[in-house]
Amino acid sequence: MTAEEKNRDLFENMPIARAVRTMAVPTVLSQLIVLIYNIADTFFIGRTDNPYMVAGAALVLPVFNICLSLSGLAGIGGGALVSRLLGQRREDEARRVYSFSVYLCLVTSALFAAGVGIFMDPLMTLLGAKEETRGFASAYAFLVITCGGVPTVLSNTLAALLRSVGESKKAGFGITMGGLINLGLDPLFMFVLLPQGQEIVGAGIATCLSNCIACGYFIVILAKMRDEPVLCLSPLKDLPEKKSIAGVFAVGLPSAIATLLFDLDYVVIDRLMSDYSGVALAAVGIVLKAERLPLNVGVGICQGMTPIVAYNYSSGDYGRMNGAKRYSMLLGLVCAAVSIALYELFAGQIMGIFIDDAETIRLGTGFLRARVLATPLMFLSFFHVHLFNGFGEGGRALFLGVTRWLVFNIPMLFILNHFFGMYGIVWAQLAADALTVALSFAVYKHYEKHKLAQVV
């Protein structure tokens, strides 16, 4: 059986639970490694016991994640369409969409990286950097975004495109490898090669190099797979149909915007928290990274589910599509429940892993115990967005994403901050996502009744 036949068997015949696990497990593992190497920077920077250096890295996190959102534009938008085209047996058009997505990724990531470098000073002001954090944040942003933005975005885009054809293991290995390399390079550059006081520069260099190496892996893998009918770069002039280009943006743009707004929410949190103290900012920065553990697991489950949903939606096998949806939702909620139990029990110890400063640990412990309660609601929120991405319903995905952040989350931050101070900032996620989940189920039920019912 050829690789193409094996992947088609996964989408069409493999038992649903096994198919979802086959796609999701490598993706979850790679998401966890990505999280670990992001946390590693905070962990190793925290070993300096300098809360301002930790705060500087925390300020850059949302901008780095906004950079990553560009991989959603090309990778999620292109990948979801590739899966649907394969479900329709349109391999030639899928290949052209794959190529267009790669070129789109290169152009957008290069423009973003250059923009951050050119407008670094006003960006730092916008993020709320103070005198004691500006230098640290600027150095870190220059290395991980201006220098490393293109390979970072390209790696994640290529991973998404590999998953779209069923090659989840290869995608997961590449992302995992980059993360493990970063874990090894962090202490080398931070505490061996560079002088004391330059630890954040060392962390930035390590992150940039590890993403370049991961990008090289994907380029080599895809070069070896150039005989596959889809994963072969077409000439730039060999564009897909206008309908397909619109289809990439119809899903990719809402995905990128939703991620952008997710990180805008983090920017607002950092900005509001910086008005209290650098220690409070450092504490919430650690919490925002620690909470990504269960969230990244959930994202990995959704990313593994989406190609299966997209393929079977396009091929007309709605029973299999719904089975994948139900199993993935159950899996995500179980993981969220386990994370709540663990974080409530060990919040103080988790904070202590990152920094020894007693006040930072005290504040962060309370912040983490509050934020983790929103985990199942956060999972259900982006679960529905991924479902609509799989259906090619970018408009509905965009509506849910924009409503979640601009109508519920960000206004809730300002409201609860006004009435309850810094702890109001932390509790805003739970309050806002309760509203988001209610809306998400309502939108899906309406779609299921009026749109899916017409095609089943």
**Three-class SS string for 278-317?**
HHHHHHHHHHHHHCHHHHHHHHHHHHHHHHHHHHHHHHCC
Among the residue ranges 117-121, 237-241, 380-384, 434-438, the one predicted with the least confidence is 237-241
Choose from 125-139, 199-213, 228-242 the range with maximum mean pLDDT.
199-213
Report, as an integer, the average pLDDT of 126-131.
Answer: 77
Q: What confidence score (pLDDT) does residue 281 get?
A: 81
- 3-class DSSP assignment, residue 328: helix
Write out pLDDT tens, residues 386-408: 888 888 787 888 899 889 988 99
Could you give the percent of the chain with pLDDT greater than 70?
95
Least confident of 74-83, 229-238, 316-325: 229-238
Predicted pLDDT at 383: 92
Specify the pLDDT at position 454. Answer: 54
Q: What whole-number distance in Å separates Cα of residue 155 and Cα of residue 91?
A: 23
> Count of domains in the chain?
1
Taking alpha carbons only, the member of 90, 81, 83, 78 closest to residue 166 is: 83
Q: State the average pLDDT for the chain.
A: 84
User: pLDDT at position 453, please?
Assistant: 53
Residue 193 has a pLDDT of 86
* pLDDT more than 90, % of the chain: 23
Mean pLDDT value of segment 316-327: 87
Strands (E), 142-203: none
- Centre a 10 Å sphere on the Cβ of residue 131 and count the other Cβ atoms it contains: 7
Average pLDDT over residues 15-41: 78
- The confidence score (pLDDT) of residue 38 equals 66
Confirm if 387 and 246 have CB atoms less than 8 A apart.
no
pLDDT of residue 4: 58
Out of 41-55, 90-104, 183-197, 369-383, least confident range? 41-55
Give pLDDT, residue 316. Answer: 81
Taking only the tens place, the pLDDT of each residue in 160-182 is 888 888 787 888 888 888 888 88
Are 239 and 245 within 8 A, CB to CB?
yes
- Choose from 19-23, 259-263, 448-452 the range with maximum mean pLDDT: 19-23
Q: Which domain holds residue 436?
A: 3-455
Q: Binning pLDDT at 50, 70 and 90, where does residue 285 land?
A: confident
**Nearest Cα to Cα of residue 146 among 60, 224, 241, 227:** 60
316: left (phi over 0), alpha (psi -120 to 50) or beta: left
Is it the case that residue 92 has pLDDT exceeding 90?
Answer: no
421: region left, alpha or beta (phi > 0 left; psi from -120 to 50 alpha): left
Question: In this structure, are residues 443 and 399 in contact, taking their beta carbons and an 8 Å threshold?
Answer: yes
The pLDDT of 248-261, averaged and rounded, is 79
Return the higher-pLDDT residue of 275 and 451.
275
Answer whether 32's CB lies under 8 Å from 314's CB: no
Banded pLDDT at 380 (limits 50, 70, 90): very high
- Residue 3 pLDDT more than 60? no
Point out the least confidently predicted range of 332-341, 385-394, 429-438: 385-394
Taking the C-alpha atoms of 244, 231, 305 and 11 in order, what is their torsion angle to the nearest 10 degrees?
A: 100
